[in-house]
Amino acid sequence: MNLFKKHIEYLTQVTTEALAHAGFDGVWIYSGHPTNNFLDDMAPPHSINPHFKWWVPVPNVVSSVLHFKPGQKPTVYLNQPADFWHKIIDNSQGQWADYFDIKVIGHYAELPDFKAEKNHAWIGSAELQPLSDAVTNPSALINYLHFSRVQKTAYEIHCIGQANALALKGHAAAEQAFYDGCSEFEIHLAYLKACEHNEHQMPYGNIVALNENPAVLHYQYQSRERLPGHELKSFLIDAGANYKGYAADITRTYAYAEGAFSEMVSKLDEHQQNLCKQAVVGQDYVALHRQAHLNIAAVLHEFKVLNCSAETAVESGLSQTFLPHGLGHYLGLQVHDVSGHVTDHVGTVRKPPAEYPYLRLTDTLRENAVITIEPGLYFIPMLLQKIAGHKDVNWEKVDAFMPYGGIRIEDNVVVKKKDSINLSR
Ligand code: GLY
Ligand code: MN
Ligand code: MN
């Protein structure tokens, strides 16, 4: 049976359950539409409502609505306006269309009368909210669907795998551009070209960081300056790709020359691969995050950046100076996919531990969840200043590693009972 057919069967099943749970007879799911910038007639790139994308694998959809009612074939009111300003691609064809009643409309005014259907919920952004507040994004329905989105269908895993394959082409081109001496901006362009994406198709802004810049976790600036070979030290790239609305999210770090930093990258890579192997069904992700702290503290001890044991560095909180972000997150229709702090269908929250406020995933891992494993180890001046003079830190070593910025290594993993699947290697 084809993967998309099974995917739609699963969505039909969980949406039927979710509606019964939340007490609704049906649901409208709105794609969303672009909204102009303040006092302007220009809009930022439109990001489709992920609930709509979950069903409809078509790019660039705006002002369209999906109607789902248990027992009926879902209907898509697909807006394809006759517009001489834009090229209109006919999105109503293709294999996906077999599973829907598709009604092509030429203007959003042709959308159906939403109030004509009794006891329906509305899932969509606030700009177009034709029903009452009480039935707009009701939490009982949203929580149920979000929790269901964590465990991916075979179709979704295929899509995230394809996104990874595209991203890896970009990463290979970026690595080559780095060793060729290109600027951050040139590396960024090489990446886009290799995975055949424009900026708007990327699931998030590329992080392309040379030398000390990897220490800025979400470094967003792309320097146009080419550095001479003798100044090049390190390169971190965190960049994904998009396939049918599903994201890849991969990070690699390279040293320009052999030496202590390149050895440190290799060590972290070994630990990262071990962490990926431990990401199996039933694993507590918070415990895995603590394990990552022990790993990076051990690396820092081994390279004589820390004088104390790894255990002491983690217990005292010292390791957080070097790894201030979480080990990873769910991945799917959104880069930081939903439900990371939720442990059941009714939305019970497990907050991150107080010492790790930025941990985005706190649940026990379930089969076919797709997660990232992204340990990092950074020399961040702002955080190091806060512990200036700390007796357990070898400050000469810190000064030696500071010009390299730091390391992050990130893969996308499909959780299995054993032998989880790494999509990024
Ligand atoms: N690229 C953002 C992240 O890794 O979470
Ligand atoms: Mn990333
Ligand atoms: Mn990530």
Ligand 1 atom nearest to 249, measured from its CA: 1
* Closest C-alpha to 21, from 125, 130, 140, 128: 140
Nearest CA to ligand 1 atom 3: 249
What integer pLDDT is reported at residue 375 of this predicted model?
98
Q: What percent of the chain has pLDDT over 90?
A: 92
Tens digits of residue pLDDT in 166-225? 999 999 999 999 999 999 999 999 999 999 999 999 999 999 999 999 999 999 999 999
What integer pLDDT is reported at residue 107 of this predicted model?
85
Give distance in angstroms: CA of 238 to centre of ligand 1: 7
Instruction: Determine how β-strand 120-123 pairs with β-strand 65-68.
Output: unpaired
Helix H segments across 85-153?
A: 139-150
User: Angle formed by the axes of helices 184-195 and 154-179, to 10°?
Assistant: 140
What integer pLDDT is reported at residue 133 of this predicted model?
87
Residue 139: pLDDT band (50, 70, 90) is very high
Concatenate the DSSP letters of all residues of 253-295 into one string. Answer: EEESSSSHHHHHHHHHHHHHHHHHHH--TT-BHHHHHHHHHHH
Mean pLDDT taken over the chain? 96
Instruction: Determine how β-strand 234-243 pairs with β-strand 207-210.
Output: antiparallel
Give distance in angstroms: CA of 159 to centre of ligand 1: 18
Cα angle value 211/216/217 (rounded, 5°): 120
Helix (H), strand (E) at residue 157:
helix 154-179
Give distance in angstroms: CA of 71 to centre of ligand 2: 40
Q: Is 378 helix (H, G, I), strand (E, B) or coil?
A: strand
Span 135-163, average pLDDT: 98
- Give the least confident one: 17-26, 120-129, 257-266, 342-351: 120-129
Concatenate the DSSP letters of all residues of 99-114 into one string. Answer: GSEEEEESSGGGS--G
- Out of 164, 202, 242, 251, mutate this one to test ligand 1's pocket (max ligand atoms within 8 Å of CB): namely 251
What integer pLDDT is reported at residue 1 of this predicted model?
53
Nearest CA to ligand 1 atom 4: 249
Residue 128: pLDDT band (50, 70, 90) is confident
156 CB less than 6 Å from ligand 1?
no
Span 380-406, average pLDDT: 98
What integer pLDDT is reported at residue 221 of this predicted model?
95
374 CB less than 6 Å from ligand 1?
yes
Span 380-399, average pLDDT: 98
What integer pLDDT is reported at residue 354 of this predicted model?
95
Span 91-98, average pLDDT: 90
Span 330-343, average pLDDT: 98
Span 368-372, average pLDDT: 98
204 CB less than 6 Å from ligand 1?
yes
The token pair that represents 376 in the structure block: 């990092």
Tell me if 412 sits within 8 A of 362, measured CB to CB.
no
